[in-house]
Structure 1
């Protein structure tokens, strides 16, 4: 039995479908089972609730051989670290209680970064908790998600521009969520690995944001440019959207660390993922853009 948290998200949803296609028994922890796709809902065992609740985990983990762990975002949390650690401590305790042998968590690249990195540091703290649970643990250590660009789809379509805080002429490591799910599926179905390890998984490209803009433009058939924004301007945007001071600090520290190269050390040793940026644009970004075209 494999237990999957966040089964309605971009990563968890793909992972559940892949495991079912491989003939695995899957149990999911889900806040609202009605959000599961109909065919998936019929084939999984669903435990309703949140995986920061020990009682929910005690219903989900009996008989589990492996657990997929992802902490959902919560901008209203007192801090990213408080949020991640609440989940991680509940998870580590439950894993130990139920003798789960293998845990795969979604984390960030850059373990060992010497400065505060906001949300990324919170993920590292999560890994330490889960790694101390007694289970074999793999932290899937990820760089920038390609899917983050979907949040700027309107600006890309209507203004021909997307913005980030990093330099336009320096390579930015990236990953498609489909490849995170694929890496998790391999680990969750292989009981032979042991110990604790951070496992960087990066896309195959070394594109700069300027290069990403060029690829996006080619795939959409219209000019697209990259525009760099400052950390200060990004913080002001977050505040204008109602983010708390702590949430602003957590996010701006993460982007500042990204700008300073937090992913770079892991890039050389990362497992190469299958999906290149052009393929992702063709198969994910362009269909999403076309769907919004009047």
Structure 2
């Protein structure tokens, strides 16, 4: 099969490309950065350099493809984050239709079943809606949980304050996922002989925030590490003091509140998948190694 991947050589797209190439598929990787071309070609893939917001470029890149893996690259410089998700999805939809792609696999998120109240994830909800309107194209929406590597955001706090803290914590449950398990699921969907439109949840492990803090603390020599729950206002004030734009801050605080209330995982709980292979303790080893390098 001829398969096009977005996401450049990121945490998901690189192992996804490697697996597909190993299985004999012809892979093209889209990247916004021309300096990635040599690395992409070294994997055995073709490189297409351009923007995923450019429908004309995407149409050319998608030409002749059987399937396309589409994701929305992080862009915290966007002044309208939800609009950015929507515009990217519109570009994907137009390109897939014009190029005759038969199967789109979209990287969405748990919580994307909700049209409001989930911060940035509202963008995934709207993107799913746009892609699901495509006629004659199977659309598989992947809904992974909380990425393990999001825990890296707390490295500085652990080092400087000896705690983890945000507007969710304590006994709040985290549905967590490894990029490698997402890549494995995406590979299954992309190479399906008879693709169908579906929603697929992806998770690797489930733990409370307190349990996560305990594992991290044990691994870095801080056995009493706690994951504290702050108010929305406290988190908002902290983010703003760090120079984060108000529009992004508000979305992130709303997202954290949805994790705290359980709203984000409400549909996931009704459609739980089999958990993936990469468990949290495996990631914690990587986290501890990174933490120790910074100390």
TM norm structure 1: 0.90
Q: Which residue of 2 aligns with 1:143?
A: 145
- Return the match for 1:263 from 248, 253, 265: 265
RMSD: 2.1
Cα distance in 1 between the residues matched to 2:60 and 2:171: 50
Change (3 A) 1:117 1:267: same
- Given that residues 219 and 278 in structure 1 are in contact (C-alpha distance below 8 angstroms), is that contact kept between their aligned partners in structure 2? no
- Given that residues 4 and 16 in structure 1 are in contact (C-alpha distance below 8 angstroms), is that contact kept between their aligned partners in structure 2? yes
**Structure 1 stretch 262-271 or stretch 128-137: which is displaced more?**
262-271
- Given that residues 7 and 73 in structure 2 are in contact (C-alpha distance below 8 angstroms), is that contact kept between their aligned partners in structure 1? yes
Aligned residues: 290
Cα distance in 1 between the residues matched to 2:40 and 2:119: 38
- Return the match for 2:279 from 276, 279, 282: 276
Cα distance in 2 between the residues matched to 1:229 and 1:54: 42
Per the TM alignment, residue 36 of structure 1 is displaced from its structure 2 partner at its CA by: 5.6
- Return the match for 1:162 from 161, 164, 186: 164
Cα distance in 2 between the residues matched to 1:267 and 1:74: 29
- Given that residues 14 and 181 in structure 1 are in contact (C-alpha distance below 8 angstroms), is that contact kept between their aligned partners in structure 2? yes
Cα distance in 2 between the residues matched to 1:112 and 1:263: 10
Q: Which residue of 2 aligns with 1:232?
A: 233
Measured against aligned partners, the alpha-carbon deviations of 1:81-102 in whole angstroms (never above 9, x if no partner) come to 1000110001101101111111
Q: Which residue of 2 aligns with 1:49?
A: 50
Q: Which residue of 1 aligns with 2:181?
A: 179
Structure 1 segments of 4+ aligned residues over 4 angstroms from their partners = none
Q: Which residue of 2 aligns with 1:15?
A: 16
**Structure 1 stretch 47-56 or stretch 244-253: which is displaced more?**
244-253
Q: Where in structure 2 are the equivalents of 1:196-275 lying within 5 Å?
A: 197-205=198-206, 207-223=207-223, 224-261=225-262, 262-271=264-273, 272-275=275-278
SS of alignment partner, residue 60 of structure 1: helix
- Given that residues 79 and 250 in structure 1 are in contact (C-alpha distance below 8 angstroms), is that contact kept between their aligned partners in structure 2? no
- Given that residues 115 and 122 in structure 2 are in contact (C-alpha distance below 8 angstroms), is that contact kept between their aligned partners in structure 1? no
- Given that residues 29 and 40 in structure 2 are in contact (C-alpha distance below 8 angstroms), is that contact kept between their aligned partners in structure 1? no
Cα distance in 2 between the residues matched to 1:179 and 1:37: 26
Per the TM alignment, residue 37 of structure 1 is displaced from its structure 2 partner at its CA by: 6.9
Change (3 A) 1:221 1:246: closer
Change (3 A) 1:114 1:66: closer
Cα distance in 1 between the residues matched to 2:104 and 2:53: 15
TM norm structure 2: 0.90
- Given that residues 2 and 65 in structure 1 are in contact (C-alpha distance below 8 angstroms), is that contact kept between their aligned partners in structure 2? yes
Q: Which residue of 1 aligns with 2:290?
A: 288
Change (3 A) 1:142 1:161: same
Per the TM alignment, residue 188 of structure 1 is displaced from its structure 2 partner at its CA by: 0.9
